[in-house]
Amino acid sequence: MSTTDTILSGAMQPLTQLTEDEQMLRDAAAEFAQQEITPCILQMDEKAALDSDLVKSFFEMGLMGIEIPEEFGGAGGSFFMSIVAIEQISKVDASVGVFMDVQNTLVNNAFLRFGSDDLQQRYLPRLASESVGAYCLSESGSGSDAFALKSSAIKEGNGYRLNGAKLWITNANEADIFIVFANAKPEDGYKGITAFVVERGMEGFSISKKEDKLGIRASSTCEVRLENVLVPEENILGEFGKGYKVAIETLNEGRIGIGAQMVGLAQGAYEAALDYVQERKQFGKKVSEFQSVQFQLAQMATEIEMARLLVYNAARIKEAGQPFLKEAAMSKYYGSEVAERVASMAVDLFGGNGFVKEYPVEKYYRDAKIGKIYEGTSNMQLQTIAKLIMH
């Protein structure tokens, strides 16, 4: 029996068929995106910063704590609900989509899966109501080779002194709560890596260089510096020396979130192109009446649906408690491929107008590129898929 059969056994419903709660959140996220995000898109892209009022609105809507239990002030929803919401937000603006994605699929999930009762009680209410989270793994010498990190954690009294620099940290400007990976026992290699919860106000912690990026410009991507930051021992997330486990397992879930972001982006670019070609006239008729254009639109729609099915399938398998590593890698890999291809075709269909900022598709095109890079490059996803199918 295939994994899809396992998930759908009994009901055998289409993967795109949503429950009532999933549909309600999907519609609410779509409406929120249109009403609250759309008016800010150009300004946020130009300023390369999220609108502070918009950040507050995300918390008010409950979109920053979808899986956090109600007892901690969250929505008490499911992983799949996070995925459909990320898709809808990213359809309007992928920069804001990744802001929400990192909070839900990486930070919140890490606390839910690995946090002690004390950590959950201290941080989950804040993450659900007011505090943005960030996930600090990458360094200058550890990108795809994540476990080559050099940040150190040295035992001191009832805590650890953290030193090092983390690069390309999403949400760094907005975040108050940071999950930081450092090696507390370098002689044991990756088995010394430990995850720590660090707060912005801790002495020696600072946000440094902010990257000037090609796309998803409103999403902050910064360097985080740790200079003798004293972190109490109770702020270890998960077990000592098991930070690699925290990283691997949360990133697997995060990749499904990036797949959803890319599907949403592709859908937004496709719909913009579909509307445009039905309004634009050339040679005395609508551009949409040309068969070559119709074929391109058909290809775009088909590939988006294929990518969506991969994402939804991975999310359903994860929720069912089944192994989902291969499906997560496939959804992230193919979603990013489709997003870049569809956004490029959308620019083509807009013609010269597709190359200027007055129209939306040039931004979709810029935003799409990151999908092949962050949370595991396309080559890393292919390596994972190959390893699992050859097992």
Q: What is the pTM of this model?
A: 0.95
Report the chain's C-alpha Rg in angstroms.
21
Q: For residues 77 and 15, give the distance between their C-alpha atoms in angstroms, rounded to a whole number.
A: 18
Which of residues 212, 241, 270 is at a domain's end?
241
Asked if 304 and 198 sit in the same domain, the reply is: no
Domain around 352: 245-389
Residue 312 belongs to domain with CATH number: 1.20.140.10
Final residue before a domain boundary, out of 202, 219, 241: 241
Residues 126 and 142 in one domain: no
Q: How many CB atoms lie within 10 A of CB 4?
A: 15
Residues 114 and 184 in one domain: no
Taking CA atoms, 329 is separated from 3, 92, 96, 318, in Å, by 15, 24, 22, 12
Q: What is the pLDDT at residue 33?
A: 98
Give the domain-ending residue among 192, 217, 241: 241
Residues with a known catalytic role: 375
**What stretches of 320-374 show up as alpha helix (H) in DSSP?**
325-350, 361-368
| Each residue's pLDDT expressed in tens, for the chain with a length of 391 residues | 444 444 444 445 677 789 999 999 999 999 999 999 999 999 999 999 999 999 999 999 999 999 999 999 999 999 999 999 999 999 999 999 999 999 999 999 999 999 999 999 999 999 999 999 999 999 999 888 878 899 999 999 999 999 999 999 999 999 999 999 999 999 999 999 999 999 999 999 999 989 999 999 999 999 999 999 999 999 999 999 999 999 999 999 999 999 999 999 999 999 999 999 999 999 999 999 999 999 999 999 999 999 999 999 999 999 999 999 999 999 999 999 999 999 999 999 999 999 999 999 999 999 999 999 999 999 999 999 999 999 7
Beta strands in 7-61 (DSSP E): none
Q: Based on the domain organization, do 151 and 231 belong to the same domain?
A: yes
Is the same domain home to 167 and 273? Answer: no
Same domain, 144 and 233: yes
On whether both 88 and 121 belong to a single domain, the answer is: yes
Say yes or no: 251 and 378 in one domain: yes
Residues 28 and 85 in one domain: yes
Are 100 and 151 found together in one domain?
Answer: no
Judge if 108 and 153 occupy the same domain: no
pLDDT for 13 equals 67
CB of 301 within 8 A of CB of 342?
no
Total domains in the chain come to: 3
Q: What pLDDT score was predicted for residue 16?
A: 79
Residue 182 main-chain phi, psi, to 5 deg: -140, 155
Nearest to 312 by CA among 16, 78, 11: 16
Q: The tokens 């990026």 sit on which residue?
A: 213
Q: Say if residue 117 is in the same domain as residue 8.
A: yes
Per-residue pLDDT, 147: 81
Q: What is the CATH number of the domain that holds 181?
A: 2.40.110.10
